[in-house]
Structure 1
């Protein structure tokens, strides 16, 4: 009996290039602050093309074709003020349905408000030139966020997220009960 018989009909294209320009229904998988080696800070959003809308005919050329693809959006702190563009954040908050007048007390609260929310996002295909080399990139501006046409999300993340007891760092700062006989040294 053979170990393996080749069968390529289930192979799919591995086109991981940039997304074509258009509107995509997306979920904000992660929101975090990042910094470069030189100290330039940004708020980065990891946007994922939703995979729960494959059956919507109007999204056949966007979400169905490109579901689970990531697009990263950086909102850099302004050098002159060392502050984020708060007006840009207003577009995102409006699109994800945060009620008018809601106070957000810290950057951590802001990141929590964003994570897991859905929006329709206009993604633009552009060029980035660096050291004489031009590469295709995706660009998303805060004003390119709008309310999702499908606000109920059933998106299934490809990577399983660890919750509670499965997280090795869930009990950070608490004593661990282990005997000397269990230690390898």
Structure 2
């Protein structure tokens, strides 16, 4: 039996252009900390255009469902901290009650996971690589008009879920025996 038989009939050239500027109903698909190759740290929030509102919003969600937009929140060089004022907009949009303490970045990411929001997406030209890109400002994240979420998340059947797509759970220390290590 062959490892692979070529079949190009399902190959498509996907549309990787930015989605048009406007307001979209989205779901927060993931949130996690990351860093650039040069070490600049940021908190990345990934929004996905909801696929359960095609009939209700045919010109936005209906045309662009399942498309992704990212909102990085960079650590400030002067303080080494995130701009907490910007993160407040996102917390308010997902409905976290006033005065709720959020102890860690992982807790913050967990609070956002799979929450519906309304987002104003802009298209801006990036001079660095001479392309147009979608951007989201924290103050453009608002509470959803459609709180009942029926969005279907797409996961490839033959590959694991994307890195950091599920909320982190602190289960305490992990004990590893030296005999289990490969080195």
Q: Please name the residue that 2:18 is paired with.
A: 18
Q: Please name the residue that 1:169 is paired with.
A: none
Q: Please name the residue that 1:158 is paired with.
A: 154
Give the structure-2-normalised TM-score: 0.78
Question: Structure 1 stretches of 5 or more lacking a match?
Answer: 1-7, 164-171, 176-185
Give the structure-1-normalised TM-score: 0.77
Q: Secondary structure at the match of 1:20?
A: coil
Q: Please name the residue that 2:74 is paired with.
A: 76
Q: Larger C-alpha radius of gyration, 1 or 2?
A: 1
Task: Tell me the distance in 2 between the aligned counterparts of 1:78 and 1:120.
Answer: 27
Residue 98 of structure 1: how far off its partner (Å) = 0.5
In the alignment, is residue 123 of structure 1 matched against residue 116 of structure 2?
Answer: no
Q: Secondary structure at the match of 1:157?
A: coil
In the alignment, is residue 38 of structure 1 matched against residue 34 of structure 2?
Answer: no
1:11-62 Cα deviation digits (max 9, x unpaired): 9883221011000000010000001122110000111000011120xx1111
Q: Secondary structure at the match of 2:127?
A: strand
Q: Please name the residue that 1:27 is paired with.
A: 27
Q: Secondary structure at the match of 2:48?
A: strand
Q: Please name the residue that 2:53 is paired with.
A: 53
Q: Secondary structure at the match of 2:130?
A: strand
